[in-house]
Amino acid sequence: MNSNRRVNAVATVVLLLSMAGGIVALNAVDHIRRGAVAQQALYFRSSRVLRRLSLGYTGLLADIYWTRAVQYFGEQHHSGSGDFRLLAPLLEVTTELDPKLLPAYQFGANFLAPKPPNGAGLPGAALSLTKYGIEHNPDQWRLYYNLGFLYYTEFKDYPRAADAFARGSKLPVTNAYMPILAARMAQHAGEFDTARMLWFTTYQGTKEPRIRQNAVEHLRAVQVDEDITRLEQVIAKYRAQFGRTPTGMDDLERAGFIHGTPADPNGEAYELKPGGRIEVQHPQKLFFITKGLPPGVEPPQPPRIPEQPSK
């Protein structure tokens, strides 16, 4: 091997080893500095300072902050720490840099409002974010929908929810369900139908697969809760008529209260337990249900989303 070849070979080996070593070292550094990226992202909390530093390229900076907010949420959600302290400031800076960045309001409120581990458990911050969004984008029906949704699901404030849906329904471009939702909120009637309509509108209003999947899971949960509520009413009627609790679904069918064996959205039959309690067979397959759970079992939550959400 001549000297040139030797030098080339050594240089190649050193290059590859250094590259591999660099990757290992960087991973080790990342491990001990977990969360540092988001912390750095908030080194400047003032959007005014950031505006000046961006030399006017605020749109790009807002996109970067939004991406950081998504990554931060994904990371905290994945780790299950339940610590979302930086989420609200990240979203605040994002929307102040670009007040027209609609995904930051729509998904940001979804990240902020639900209780941990599914969200930050900050419905107040979600409300402020959505109101700020409406202030700067008064022609976007989705933001009024989000506001009504928050008032309904997080605060059970029906008059305010009705007002938000009604305001959104009067916009030139709106959704057909908005006036119906406003009316339902005003009447405070038909809880299951209202919930179904809300989640269906959420499903329709986005192309984001994870948000759609979340809406589908909620729609399935609403179906289970409604089925079990009806079955409980049927059992109460049976008790009133026969003076005893039915021992199985057969009793209800023989008495003509039901036709066939009722089943959950997975096609698995509901079980009638001693004492007249209705349970689903596999609660771990039905996220967000509030009824039909065996005693002592917590409402199941969907699997944690990946660390870095991808489309």
Q: Is 84 in the site for another protein (CB under 8 A)?
A: no
Nearest approach, Cβ of residue 205 and another protein (Å)? 11
Q: Is 62 in the site for another protein (CB under 8 A)?
A: yes
- Name, in order, each residue with C-beta under 8 angstroms of 142's C-beta and a sequence gap of 6 or more: 102, 106, 205
By residue count, the chain amounts to: 311
How far is Cα 165 from Cα 157, in angstroms, rounded to an integer? 12
Binding span for another protein by CB under 8 A among 21-29, 140-148, 253-261, 303-311: 303-311
In this chain, which of 21, 22, 103, 124 binds another protein, going by CB under 8 A?
103
Of the candidates 217, 211, 205, 200, the one whose C-alpha atom is nearest the C-alpha of residue 311 is 211
Nearest approach, Cβ of residue 293 and another protein (Å)? 31
Q: Which of residues 161-220 bind another protein (CB under 8 A)?
A: 206-208
H or E segment and range at residue 120: none
- Name, in order, each residue with C-beta under 8 angstroms of 257's C-beta and a sequence gap of 6 or more: 234, 237, 238
Q: 299 vs 302, which CB is nearer to another protein?
A: 302
Count Cβ atoms below 10 Å from residue 35 Cβ, excluding itself.
14
- Name, in order, each residue with C-beta under 8 angstroms of 287's C-beta and a sequence gap of 6 or more: 217, 220, 221, 300, 301, 302
CA 233 to chain centre: 31
Binding span for another protein by CB under 8 A among 1-9, 65-73, 125-133, 170-178: 65-73
Q: Is 76 in the site for another protein (CB under 8 A)?
A: no
Nearest approach, Cβ of residue 173 and another protein (Å)? 14
Q: Is 67 in the site for another protein (CB under 8 A)?
A: yes
Nearest approach, Cβ of residue 176 and another protein (Å)? 23
Residues that bind another protein in the complex, under the rule CB under 8 A: 52, 55-60, 62-63, 66-67, 70-71, 98, 100-103, 106-107, 206-208, 308-311
